[in-house]
Structure 1
Amino acid sequence: MASCPRRDVNHIAHKKDPFARYKSNTRTSLRRRKRSGNPMADYDRLPSDLRGWLSQAALPWSPRSVFRVWRSAMKTYENDREAVYLYMSELEAKKLKKEAKKIWGFE
């Protein structure tokens, strides 16, 4: 028995971009960049408590950006880790509020 060619309407469009069907699920105003280096190795080098915070984060932080914010906050809050993580959570909540307004039109 001969096999039938695939008759999916989107099949042709997906040959060029295999992730085309998922693009509507990724609306964001966050910048997209190609990764340089090894993000998993960068993640492994993060302090363990920062990795714990990052595992609970709502936004997809890159290891490089979360470390940059964390290091800056550690200087500002004089190594008070509780204050640093509170600051980072507030920063993330502010960004989420801004994103919700842009994407869904409400707060």
Structure 2
Amino acid sequence: MSGRKRNLRSGLKQRRRQGDPMAAYDRLPPPLRAWLAQVALPWSPQSAHRLWCRDLQRCEGDAVGAALHLSRAEHRMLAQDRLQN
């Protein structure tokens, strides 16, 4: 097992990254980058941005509310992972 993946012990589905993930991260809105800086799971910039846009629309442009929705989604994913392992 490579050194990079040794710390990722999750039953959640992982996809292959395409393109430059750091460039994609740099293009994200600052509130989303701040949220990603403190998360537990390795979110791809694409999936985080897709959910961010959806949640931002649901929260009528409220970035704090959108971040709260993302945190809830992450907690659900962590709970699902705990049940699988």
TM-score by length of 1: 0.70
In structure 1, distance between residues paired with 2:74 and 2:65? 14
Count of residues in correspondence between the two structures? 85
In structure 2, distance between residues paired with 1:35 and 1:22? 14
In structure 1, distance between residues paired with 2:3 and 2:28? 34
In structure 1, distance between residues paired with 2:14 and 2:31? 27
SS in 1 for 2:13: coil
In structure 2, distance between residues paired with 1:21 and 1:79? 40
Report sequence identity in percent: 41
Return structure 1 stretches of 4+ with deviation > 2 angstroms. Answer: 19-29
Deviations 1:78-107 (A, max 9, x none): 10111111111111111111111111xxxx
In structure 2, distance between residues paired with 1:29 and 1:46? 27
Over the residues paired in the alignment, what is the CA RMSD in angstroms? 2.0
Question: Which protein is bigger by CA-based radius of gyration?
Answer: 1
Q: Considering Cα pairs closer than 8 Å and 6+ residues apart, tell me whether 1 or 2 has the greater RCO.
A: 2
Task: Name stretches of at least 5 consecutive residues in structure 2 with no aligned partner.
Answer: none
In structure 1, distance between residues paired with 2:59 and 2:66? 6
